[in-house]
Structure 1
Amino acid sequence: MRTENSGDNKVISFSTIPDTAAPFLVFENISNPYRPDFFSDIDLKGFKIDGQFKLAFNEKVLPGDGAIVISNGTETRIVQIDDASQVTFDESGGVTIDLKNDLIAGTTYQVRMAKGVIVDTAGNDFAGLDVTSKIMQTSEPVLTFSNVSRGIAGYDTEGSFFQFIADDLVIKADGKIVLGFDEKVIAGSGDIIFSNGVDTVTIPITDTRQVIFEESGSDEYGRVVIDPTDDLIPGAIYNVRMDRGVITDTAGNPFAGGSVNLTAIDSVPLLIDSYPSNRGGFKIDGFTDGKIKFKFDEPVMAGHGDLILSNGEDKRVIAIDDNSQVTFDDSGEVIIDLDENLVADTTYTAQLASGVIVDKAGNPFAGFNNVEFEAFTSNPVMAGRLHSLPSDDAVLLFDEPVKANSGDIIITGERVISNFSLFLSHEIRTETVSIPINDSSQISFDSYLYTTAPGSLTIAPHLAPYFNVTHFSIVKIEDGAITDVDGNPFAGFSQIGSTENSTGPILLASIPASGSVIKTDDDIRLIFNEKVVPGNGDIVFSNGMDTRIVSIDDVSQVTFDALGNVFVNPHDDLMIDTTYTVSMANGAILDVAGNRFAGFTNGQVKVIDSAPLLLDSDALYYGIFETDNIPSLNPPSFFPVNGRFFQADKTISFYFDEKVKAGKGDLILSSGTDTRVVSIDDTSQISFDEFGGVSIDLTDDLVPDTTYNVLIPEGVITDISGNPYAGLSNAAIKTIKPIDTTKLHPLLFSVKIGDTIELDFKEKVVPGSGDIFISSGTDTRVIAINDTSQVTFDDSGVVIIDPAQDLDKNTNYEMHIEQGAIVDTDGNPYEAPSYLPSANAEVIPIFDLTDYESNVNNLNLDGVIYASTGVMLY
């Protein structure tokens, strides 16, 4: 883009690159509408005679030229693409085909569309469509969702993870059955019958105590909750039957009904995750706050008894009703915050008797009696280092996030002393350089989720022209120069060694880790501390029945990259639900200098199917993630994040371990009074990215201060190969109002005379309308929020206030931000916390300014200044 001046006018000239990419189809519901397993004996696997065909594209599309041809061989419908009475286009790439006349039941239609019938906004042609659709005999309501699954999982009394998988569907004896339909439904006439051959329970469909028809406010979906007054008998197999017409749509069309077998299991709470895990590690404070955490599949409360922890000499008996050490929340999480830290470097056993923890109905958790874990120090520990040449950088890995404190890192290298005469000559001298730990131009810190080394320090020294490219050594890190986030010091070291390598390569990590799981079609990744190459030898996989011998130089199965990664991908997928031992011969892998990797003999992986796994969600207050029990994806050092509150107007995000796409069916959010059913192919509300992310941007905001249950049936989301995500049923979102009074963190960095004032928000904010007042009573500054010479906003939510003139030394100031001066990108104004006085402006006590040169000790070591009144800026 170029700007030119022409008199008083500005002329902006620019060139554009034409869009030549054709639109492509992301989803269509024509060929295989999704149906759940519940009542699967009824053949409802086709398309309704009065259903709507839906297409979803990757971009906005428009009518081109031509028609959609729909034919069953006997009759043919020709629908012009610009016939707005039958074909509608939305702004997000959706196309809906709603035929004037019903299709013929019991027949199969071919749906065809030639190239160019649909185009994108640049005029690029959609390639066309040719699919078939089986038409059902009915326009009756169709079951699209059920919360009942074929299995259940948790930890047993020995602390081992188990999965109970049944041929029939599984339900807790006191559980509810939730059924979702493709349209609004109401009670018809008849009964829902539960029978185990001995005991029969008959529930009239009109019994509002046991059958609830939830009001959705829409005719596009319906939801029924069946909650028997009396619990089912654990261990019994029930046949659940519903005759045709027991449920109908609002026009009186009957639901076909059906029958299904359910296995009733005990109504006891199940432990689905814990920190520490059995035979895992437990950091006594610091990164984990020294808290023991249990996660259950339902809300629980204190029963009677104790949690007992013992290392043989140190025994702790924690009464479950000791609310100074034990807390319960509504999501099923129990947190034990010990009065005193456990003893580091010892092994503890943990015991919890049956009934110490119970669910809200009083059903006891079975407890555990053979769980042990290793307690270790709160100080950060170096977990490894990555080999590097000076032209790159050196990375030190830690077992938790770390930060700079005070001190130096000392390195040595070779200085080149040149003599620029007629003939260039030089000599090399060994030099020592001290780098201050807080020199951000040479040292940086980072943290990573879902890794065995969550913290790292990167050293990129300013070497040139002082050091040549041979090597440099880190000879010392001073004690206390580095701390964890709570200030616990790293002990430091002397002479870690040279970046020049003379020993064999080191295996830093593997994905998956030994003892964890791998998908049947996934690669195995080995991560070394330096670049490696093939040597001589094999990698051997064996489960006792199936043995694979993979030669290290077989480039069709083993690949090496320049960063020290080795990828092993056997020609044939490994066998599901079996455990393989993995071994590698000494010398099968070498570094570039020819040094041998020692190999290994005891690697072990359990093989699971290829379905995508849900890693996390920024919205869920609680939820069961498949990866909660997969060490390679969620190691014991990281307890899954729960207890998130979600702003009601924000986009809901889910993060999978691989790229996913829309399958068949709906995502359902329900609070009991507000239910949202979002078709997974509704591209106006749901989008998929290239990295496994799914974003749900609801047309209408959720209701604030409300708990929504989240239901995603199996197959609604699949990976790119079509493998179905197993679904999510035990999860919830807790909403808060869009303006969260805890938006502002207590962060004002390194305030001294001449420094800026920084406000750090949780989301991007922009200038609204109004002023900032900074006043000491005798010195008052009025700064317009849109005065870019004094106020700047960045994309990360940081607002920097830089008064044109320095504030007075040794003076108390108050800062006032007018209502509406700072807003988020939706225009919502920043609100003051309720405990601060406010009138037309917000009065926020801020800080004492000190003479930095003469009174530096008054500053906190971490550079964070708190309000002088004791009120922190939130």
Structure 2
Amino acid sequence: MSPTNLYSKYNSAKTLNLKEAAPDTTAPVPVSSNLSNHQQQVAVNANISITFDEPIKAGYRVFIISNGLGDIRRIGTLGAEIKGNTITLNPEADLLANNQYFVQMEAGAVTDNAGNKVAAVMDTSALTFTTAVDKTAPLPLSVTPSNHAEQVQVSSDIVATFNERIMAGNGNIIISNGQGDTRTIAAGDVSQVSFSKGHAGTQININPSKNLLSGSQYYVLVDNDAITDLAGNAFAGTQDNTAFTFKTFSDTTAPLLKENTSPALVGVVTLQFNEAIKAGAGAIVIADSQGNKRSIAIHDTTQVAISTFFATEATVTITPKEGLVAGAQYYVQMDSGVLTDLAGNAFAGIQGTAQSFTTAIPTPPIPINSTPADEQGQVALASDITIKFNEAVKLGAGHFIISNGQGDTRTIVGNDSSQVHYAYNSNSKLTDTTTVIINPKQDLLAGSQYFVQMESGAVTDYEGAPVASVMDTTALNFTTVAVDVTAPIALSSTPGNNAQQVPTNGTITAQFNEPIKAGTGTFILSNGQGDTRTIAANDYPQISVYSNNIIIHPTQFLQADSPYSLQVDNAAITDLQGNAFAGGILNFVTAPAPVDTTAPSLYFNQDTQLISADIKLQFNEAIKLGVGTLVLSNGLGDTRTIAIDDHSQVSIKDSVTLVIHPTQPLLANAQYSIQIDGGTVTDLAGNSFAGIQDTTNAQFYTIADTTAPTIQAPSYSYTRPRQLVNEDISLGFDEQIKAGAGKITVSDGQGDTRIIDIKDSTQIKLEGPTLTINPSQDLHSNSHYSVQLDAGIVTDLSGNAFAGINNIEAIAFDTAGKKPDAAANHPVQEINHGGTQGAYDNKDVLIFNFDTAVTWQGGFNLPQHSFGGHDVVLSADGLSASVELDAASTVTTGDVLYLTGLSDGFGNTGDVMFTL
């Protein structure tokens, strides 16, 4: 065969000047093919052979066979047949009929025996051919279940494999037992019919929405236009109800009871069966030894629940509305037919005393340890009292009593949420219901010995058993610290005094000899050269206090190579009793700024690129945008010149990646180059990237995008922890998306259903690959929600439509409450006591109102925020907090105050900001 155009540029005469032992540095050259250029009527299952001018072996790149309309076959050479000088390409699936294809070869697709890589041939006109028109109808090769099969499971799919790729036509598939159970399924019904991408697209899978009947003879009919090949040739179908039949498994065995689990005090009776069951007719009877009976209708879902696991076992859970008596003997009885298996076989029932159980006798919760411990000394006056029990407890109506026996007695009811709450585990984000924290409204007295008593019923376990009374004054006692009149002393600091080479972006930490809190003064940080920061002691987040430590986090970096001093005045820091730190000065010198004179460099190794995907250029260091343009071009008329400051098409990701997102997809099956002006990108020190001027330095080949976008797991594997009721629902896709057409349904299945149009910009936001849903009204708390999306509601940038989600548990989540926040109306109120309204004078009371009931979390105290000497007090209902100002108060209009460590009833925690 004469050489084809694919190889014409290699066909000039070559002169080989070989010397003894000289290395082979000449790449192999293709010289012929079994197909001629522009050949017509090529069989769709034809192989393509290419012969080179020397023996070859597999490389690590691919050959590309494409019709330029989305059918792209990338064929690796490692698994291809190579004999001597010839490689044979055998596409996994037949080519499309009546289509023009071209063949391309990536550089390095094959090598010679010396390892020299073949050069790329990306010209789409080098070798083209047209496949023959397909006029042959598809034929089935195999069907599961097989014809005349017996004992077929009622849930089985029907799977047929054809001799070529197939797709849905316009007709129906009928599955019938000829005795009333007939399923007419449209071939295009994607909920019951799928055409697999596996098996080279030759399979159809039929999955009826409901199981077939057991013990029935079924036949399958297929309309003559229900299934076609990709050329539109229709499968002949079958209208003969004897052509394909099978018989489902006949279940005539009644279900059997496996075991009974003794119930707890709450009265939960569990019966386990050996197969899936359903409610029949009649009632379940719970009888006691005295002849008293409770009859519960089997269809009463408030008292009877049936759960099936893998169709091999089931559980019936009976929860009588009235709890059973502790320590009593009971019997479960039911007639035959109250329960049946899915085939209708009746459970024989339970008669007389055959199924008996004795209810458990409750054991009251027991306290096992406490903080402070018994006989502990030096307990801080503001300490909480923590009691841990041997099981989960509920807060009851009994009292905790804290007393020093000398007039200071605090009687606190167990369910007083303003002073008693559960512990909170900050790691697991869960409430610890085995641990109760008592936080008296007023601090304890100094130098006093206290005892703690607990009345019966202060807490109960979850079955209602009350804790036993503990009134012994020696059971838990402790002594508070003596009256403290000593000011705190600074022990150390980081950086140390007169330290050198201090990082400009660091923090300043000081450690004291006792726990401290922010006072009412200021910190002055200055280099005496124009950079002076005056920071109030209550300026959160620049000032934070943890136990014995205070940390200063300047909001801006310090100046490099500069001497700084930190002056602390004598009101900025106090101990917990209000004794003020004397103040002082800390001197240090910041490190010189490092000199960066190296320009950033680019790494780009993207051989192929989807036409609608972002183009990512990765640099070796953090970059910023400079001045100039970049050019994308295929050299054949599609040239995009993009200004580097065009933020609709250019962005920086992860500080080191320049991302180009063209407003329109690139052309498919084309070789593109990237050119970048020098100075278009710089590093953070201002060193300019040299740019790319050569069109061969950064090249890629475009591929048509025919794959629909999918939601990435687990962006809503979304069986996830509780979601706040006012939190956005964000769904991440595997590629950039745009709005299509359709609705999103967010529903709890209990009456709260939100149907949102994808183009409703007030509730929908599309950004890159993320779909964000922000319902106009908060969701209901403590509810189970699902999200469903219509097919085509979004598409990728190439127009491929998202398949949609109809399964109500595919995207599902439970709601909690929302994080505590300031009330929308009147967040701060002033009760004026004789001064000027709004002036915040001595004896005025500030009230901070919340949008939900809150409690303090253990281990947190409210900072005083320049209120003077008074603490903030939480109201009994948790909806507000208040503080009385005194003469030392410095708060004024415009101050921003933070109340920290708040939690609502769902365990949602957060700080709440108020502006005066």
Alignment TM-score, normalising by the size of structure 1: 0.30
The structure with the largest alpha-carbon Rg is 2
The higher-RCO structure (CA 8 Å, 6+ apart) is: 1
